[in-house]
Structure 1
Amino acid sequence: MSIRSFARHNGLSLAMFGAFLVFVVLQAIFGWHVRNEELLQAGQPADGFWHYLGTGHFGEALFENWESEFLQMGSYVLLTAYLVQRGSAESKPVDQKDRAEDYPQHATSGSPRWSRTHGAAQVIYRNSLSIVLLAFFLMSFLAHLLAGTSEYNEQQALQTGAAPVTPLDFLGTSEFWFQSMQNWQSEFLAVGVLVVLSVFLRQHGSPESKAVTATHGQTGE
C-alpha cells in the first residue's frame, strides 16, 4: 500500500493522533514553565524539561484528563447498547432488536476469528470495545492517583513542610475527587448535548449526523 493510499484510508485516526501529539507537547511545554515559576517562587531551582516529564505535576494533569475521556467513551459505548434516544443520530432505532450479525451463527469466513468462537471467548469479544475502554479508564485512574499523590506531596512540602501522604491517603482527599469530578461532569455534559443536538441539527457528510433531509424524529444509524 502506498503512503498516499495509507493516509487516505487512515486519515481520521492520523488526524486525531497527530492533534494529540501536538497538544500533549504543548501541554508539556507550558506546564514546564508553570511548574518552574512555582519552584522559583518557593526558592527552589528550576527543572529541566526532561525531568519535568517525570514529575507529578505533568503526570497528574495528563492522566486526570485521560481518565475522564476513557470513562466517557467506555460508558457511552456500553450505554448505547441498551439505551436509546428517539430522533438522535447517536442512538440505534427505538424498536431495534439485537443485530443478527452480533451472533456467531451468522459469522462468515471473513468475520474476525474471535467472533466465530463460543462460550466465554465469545462473550468477551462481543463486549471487547467497552471492556478495553473501561480498562484504559482504570489504568488512567491509577496513574492519576499515583502522579497526583506525588504532586500533592511536593506542594505540601513547598508550602507547609507537611509529611508526605500515601496514594491511599490521597484517594481520600477532596483534592483528588475535585480533580476527577471537574473532568467527569464536563465529559458527560458534552456527550449529552451531542445526543440531543443531533436530533435537530445536521452536519453534511458526517456519520455522526443524520442525513440533512432526515426528519427530526428519525433515529440515525
Structure 2
Amino acid sequence: MAAASTHMKNWIRDNSLTIALLLLFAASLTGQVFAGWAQENQTLAEHDQAPLTLLGFLTSGEFLSALFENWESEFLQMWAYVTLTAYLFQRGSPESKDPDSPSPQDRDPALDSDKPDAPGPVRKGGLIARLYAHSLSLTLMALFIASFLLHWVNSARRRAQEAAEHGDPPPTLIEHLTAPQFWFESFQNWQSEFLSTAMLVVLAIWLRERGSPESKPVSAPHSQTGSH
C-alpha cells in the first residue's frame, strides 16, 4: 500500500502541470457552457421563443461556433510559436534560442539513432524520422485546421438560423466563408494571441518569474538568451 501511495504521489507530482491545466480548462468550459446557456435563453425569452435545453444549446451553432473559434486561435498561436522559434531569434529572451551558440534542438537526430532510449521513429530513420522531426508543428497545424473547419461550419449554422428568423435565405458555406462576419470572428482572436505571445517573448528579456522554466534565472543578465 505504501509503495502504491508513493507511486501515486509521484505520478501526480510528475504530471501536475497537465493536471492543473486540464482542471482549469474543465472549469472554464463549464463556466462557458452555463453562462452561454443562460445568455441564449435570456435572448430567446426577450423574443418570446421557447428556451433551449442544455443538450440543445451544446449542439447549437451558437455554442459550437464560439467554442471552435477560440480553439482555432489557440492552436494557430501554438503552431506559429513552435515554428517561428525554430528559425527566428530574440536576443535576451528565454523563449528564444541563442543566435550565437549551437542549440541541442538543432542537433541531427540521426546522430543519436543508435541510442536505446531514443524515440522509435528516430531509431527507425528515413521518412518517418523526418516527419517525426516536425511532428509537433504538423499536429498543431492539423488541430488548427480542424478547429477552423468546425468554426466555419457551425458559424454558418448560426448565420442560417439568424437568416431564417428574419425570413432571409441562408447563406451557403462558401458564401459564409467570404462573409466579413466570419473573418471578424477569427481575426479578433488571432490578433490577441499573437500580441500575448510577443509580449511574453519581449517582457521576459527584463522581467523574471522565479522557479518558472519560461523565465531566465532571476540573477541572469538581460542579455542572456535562452532559459539556462
Question: Is the TM value for this pair above 0.5?
Answer: yes
**Which residue of structure 2 aligns with residue 81 of structure 1?**
86
Distance in 2, matches of 1:142 and 1:177, equals: 13
Equivalent position to 2:63, from 55, 58, 65:
58
Following superposition, the deviation at residue 102 of structure 1 comes to: 4.0
Asked if 1:143 corresponds to 2:150, the answer is: yes
Equivalent position to 1:15, from 1, 4, 20:
20
Q: Which moved more, 1:102-111 or 1:22-31?
A: 102-111
Distance in 2, matches of 1:98 and 1:23, equals: 37
Q: Does the 8 A contact of 2:65 with 2:151 survive in 1?
A: yes
Equivalent position to 1:90, from 89, 92, 95:
95
**Which residue of structure 2 aligns with residue 119 of structure 1?**
126
Normalised TM-score (structure 2): 0.92
Following superposition, the deviation at residue 118 of structure 1 comes to: 2.4
Structure 2 spans left out of the alignment, 5+ residues: none
Query: Which residue identity lines up with residue 171 of structure 1 in the other structure?
Result: L
Distance in 1, matches of 2:13 and 2:109, equals: 32
**Which residue of structure 1 aligns with residue 169 of structure 2?**
163
**Which residue of structure 1 aligns with residue 38 of structure 2?**
33
Distance in 2, matches of 1:102 and 1:51, equals: 52
Distance in 1, matches of 2:51 and 2:192, equals: 33
Q: Which moved more, 1:91-100 or 1:31-40?
A: 91-100
**Which residue of structure 1 aligns with residue 49 of structure 2?**
44
Following superposition, the deviation at residue 101 of structure 1 comes to: 4.3
Normalised TM-score (structure 1): 0.95
Structure 1 spans left out of the alignment, 5+ residues: none
Identity fraction in percent:
42
Aligned residues: 220
Q: Does the 8 A contact of 1:104 with 1:117 survive in 2?
A: no
